[in-house]
Structure 1
């Protein structure tokens, strides 16, 4: 668990309304602006320039002043002072008709009549005189210029200046910040209404070549599982202490834009988190733990939507959502695969038949079948609706030699983005691309076993195929078993993580070795690949998540 200091910025709702009002004003939507001001009682009170506004008052440009003031919310007393001065100056200019209309038919002057009848009668008296007398109009020795200065100062204190397009600027800055923090894919369009980014086009596939950042866990803690969300915005770790944390995969920092993480209220299980799985829309996360329990979370709020307690009698090794997001598929050390209803919270179906740990379970691309991988050396294909086993097979090298016949563990079987194909990782130096019927398409063998002329005869060739018999012959061939496999964004590259902390990269269409990368200097546990960028996250027993990119 990482510590987080609360650092929130509070925004007044009235300021948000003013930003919208400014947007309406700039786009000449004055009727909408007036309605919004009336319904919210929040006034915009902005001008393009306080100095220019004050100058208009000082120069007596009352038409412009009244136009500006009509869009502002000014205290009644200040409005009465303004209209009183305008009436006096109109009389001085012999605009008697206009002065009379302003005095008798406007709200500020009617308020003046009701609240200050002496001042109102004084204006009526000035209006009725045949000649304008400044001393009579401005008693107590106050001049016209002095009155304008007082009014200009009073009204200027009620207004502020807002930079043009302030709302659009702030939204743009917010999105730019989220992009810099890794919350949004770079240079992506953003749907402000839905609050989402569209699925972006994957990068051109390339081999990661440098470790650009590292997530470090506290002493004696480490990640047991890591996953990227399908939309590429979240990197999630499940740790041995039960905490589930969401990270910025660019900065390797905890995502503080998620309120619950900023307040240190992390998602958590009661025991070590062994597996994670996202819904297709990236809004929900399922987590499975050592104690057999499963929880389903809402990513944006950290709320636990569903608990399965327990879902299995042994540790949960794999969780994934059904394509429609309504069910959870789980595998376990208890040899059983189960399907759970998200809405009902009940176990819907069981898939029984494996004779050892089930290490991985997933849906086929079309969602009609379930694919399971087990330590009993087999892959089983099941009918999703009936839970009946359609077929069971072990990967082989194309000659009929069954790689799993001697009990080699099958770690995972990932649906390859081509119909009827799966990518299989075994506890051996060879990964396989197979059909869903078990027929071999190609194999990806550790390049270490091909170096220094080690493979020169048929017996050594068996070792390259990963067969147990070759191991027993003690050939001395430097083979290293695979722990995990992953695909590049466009599935042109297969990544194989070996026990010796190297990632071997192969072209998926030819199985040709591209490069081997020493990704860690300590024992590795597994890896995850980003769905759109050439980024790999490799996690180790010494409490690090190493982030690699091309």
Structure 2
């Protein structure tokens, strides 16, 4: 449900602000250019009393700054002229009668009333019966004019524009659309992100997103890089943007409020936000990539197909002009967002490429594959700089076979560049081990829960400052490790269902874990 706001009301709010800040010339110009008058008084009752009491100087000052219909304005000026004649202020009466616009309009539209006033002002005496015919009186005329003019003006509370802006921000805070205790750019409508939180391990679930039906669930999830949004891609192709603080759909996005969700034709198995969080890229099981404008839901670019098989992972470059993708078809590609063409292609993996990322300086592409290796590629030349087999550096039997087809070791699920230490990467493989390596492939540390079976890691994430490693495993437990000493610091059982993946917030100690039963579990420290 959307709220419609009249543009004229917005202009009046601005005019009220100008009036209160004594910007009279700007106010007058805006009223003339827009043909919209403020038509406000500080107190309607006081305005009516001025008319009833005949305080015409005050009444005329108010009316001159308002837009009053010609009929009511003519009635007002007519009454003032009659009263000036009664007080024998004939010079002032003649000036109002012959030199003001309302009286010239009266002369054109009601010449008999104008001639009656000319006749009254030329008399050497005042005839009350002629001035107030048909049994009316001065008091009745004032009452009628007061009632008519009061209906044309209104009262606005002081600082109305600023009050509404404050109320809007408060509502957005309550809805989780604006983060509390952060600076807000009112002009651009964005929150200045401040990395205020020290890393702490999420230990409890605080909210839950539950997909409707038994067959719908999230295949992918990602937080926006400005920390304001959580996006999920579902097995039935829908892409939804959530308020991760409340676990509710973001209804401030009009297309979602109207239930016109953005969607792909097949399961959405990969998602990524651009650095400015204005674009969202999605990859599906049929090899298609779509790039969406988050604010409008408009599809800006579609690569169809980008790969011959499903798009397993996706990422933007820093300026949002290129999209990096990997696929079940063993390939990695860079696509030009403007041209819609493939700009680079990286080949060398012998099985599924499950995850890709740019290095912090964008000079390298790092990939994780089911062939048991991590490869580091030169972004410009597309040549493979290094091939890393993490498990050959620990106690793994030589020649251990990857069940999907590699010979180096078990499937590598994902690889993550460590925040604040871009020379290091975390590797999550389908074992009970996580590995911390440098970009040259040297082993720095490993992490394990020491369970021998039924608890291989599925996916991993890193805390905002890189102090903790989080990983979800086949036993539906989320494990947390201290990255400095490798110690297991927490285990959190989240669900009885099979966990699909995990996403970490870029600035807060918040994690999103999603399972095959249609649940997205939101956890915090």
TM score, norm. by length of structure 1? 0.89
Shift of 1:494: 1.6
Partner of 1:546: 521
**How many angstroms apart in 2 are the aligned matches of 1:161 and 1:397?**
78
User: Which runs of 5 or more structure 1 residues have no equivalent in the other structure?
Assistant: 1-6, 450-476
- Work out whether 1:122 is the aligned partner of 2:116: yes
- Work out whether 1:215 is the aligned partner of 2:218: no
Partner of 2:497: 522
Of 62, 77, 96, the residue aligned with 1:102 is 96
- Which digits, 9 at most, give the CA deviation of each residue in 1:292-350, with x for residues without a partner? 11111111111111111111122111011111211111111111111111111111111
Partner of 1:67: 61
User: Which runs of 5 or more structure 2 residues have no equivalent in the other structure?
Assistant: 401-406
SS of 1:441's equivalent?
strand
Shift of 1:398: 6.4
Of 432, 437, 444, the residue aligned with 2:440 is 437
Name which of structure 1's ranges 180-189 and 430-439 shifts more when overlaid on structure 2: 180-189
**How many angstroms apart in 2 are the aligned matches of 1:134 and 1:530?**
82
**How many angstroms apart in 2 are the aligned matches of 1:494 and 1:132?**
97
Q: Is the 8 A contact 1:226 1:527 kept in 2?
A: yes
- Work out whether 1:346 is the aligned partner of 2:349: no
Partner of 1:491: 466
- Work out whether 1:322 is the aligned partner of 2:343: no
CA RMSD of aligned residues (A): 2.0
Partner of 1:462: none
- Work out whether 1:10 is the aligned partner of 2:4: yes
- Work out whether 1:303 is the aligned partner of 2:266: no
**How many angstroms apart in 2 are the aligned matches of 1:36 and 1:442?**
67
- Which digits, 9 at most, give the CA deviation of each residue in 1:31-54, with x for residues without a partner? 222222222222222222211110
Shift of 1:535: 1.3
Shift of 1:396: 5.2
Of 277, 286, 291, the residue aligned with 1:291 is 286
Q: Is the 8 A contact 1:185 1:232 kept in 2?
A: no
Name which of structure 1's ranges 311-320 and 116-125 shifts more when overlaid on structure 2: 116-125
SS of 1:312's equivalent?
coil
Of 29, 41, 47, the residue aligned with 2:23 is 29
- Work out whether 1:192 is the aligned partner of 2:186: yes
Q: Is the 8 A contact 2:454 2:474 kept in 1?
A: no
Partner of 2:414: 412
Partner of 1:364: 359
SS of 2:177's equivalent?
coil
- Which digits, 9 at most, give the CA deviation of each residue in 1:501-538, with x for residues without a partner? 11112222222332211122221111111112221111
**How many angstroms apart in 2 are the aligned matches of 1:266 and 1:109?**
60
Q: Is the 8 A contact 1:415 1:423 kept in 2?
A: yes
Q: Is the 8 A contact 1:534 1:549 kept in 2?
A: yes
**How many angstroms apart in 2 are the aligned matches of 1:382 and 1:26?**
62
Name which of structure 1's ranges 121-130 and 212-221 shifts more when overlaid on structure 2: 121-130
Shift of 1:254: 1.7
- Which digits, 9 at most, give the CA deviation of each residue in 1:328-382, with x for residues without a partner? 1111111111111111111111111111111111100001110011111111111
**How many angstroms apart in 2 are the aligned matches of 1:98 and 1:87?**
8
Partner of 1:3: none
**How many angstroms apart in 1 are the aligned matches of 2:92 and 2:24?**
26
Q: Is the 8 A contact 1:290 1:316 kept in 2?
A: yes
SS of 1:100's equivalent?
helix
**How many angstroms apart in 1 are the aligned matches of 2:42 and 2:13?**
14
Name which of structure 1's ranges 256-265 and 118-127 shifts more when overlaid on structure 2: 118-127
SS of 1:36's equivalent?
helix
Aligned length: 516
Of 207, 223, 226, the residue aligned with 2:221 is 226
Partner of 2:506: 531
**How many angstroms apart in 2 are the aligned matches of 1:335 and 1:402?**
26
Shift of 1:142: 1.9
Shift of 1:74: 0.7
SS of 2:345's equivalent?
strand
Partner of 1:156: 150
Q: Is the 8 A contact 2:203 2:490 kept in 1?
A: no
**How many angstroms apart in 2 are the aligned matches of 1:334 and 1:17?**
57
- Which digits, 9 at most, give the CA deviation of each residue in 1:426-445, with x for residues without a partner? 11222122110011222222
Q: Is the 8 A contact 1:397 1:440 kept in 2?
A: no
SS of 1:139's equivalent?
coil
Shift of 1:540: 0.5
Partner of 1:245: 240
Q: Is the 8 A contact 2:292 2:300 kept in 1?
A: yes
**How many angstroms apart in 2 are the aligned matches of 1:374 and 1:118?**
95
**How many angstroms apart in 2 are the aligned matches of 1:504 and 1:498?**
8
**How many angstroms apart in 2 are the aligned matches of 1:431 and 1:95?**
98
- Which digits, 9 at most, give the CA deviation of each residue in 1:148-185, with x for residues without a partner? 11110110111122222222222222222222222222
TM score, norm. by length of structure 2? 0.93
Partner of 2:404: none
**How many angstroms apart in 1 are the aligned matches of 2:238 and 2:397?**
40
**How many angstroms apart in 2 are the aligned matches of 1:66 and 1:164?**
22
Name which of structure 1's ranges 96-105 and 245-254 shifts more when overlaid on structure 2: 96-105
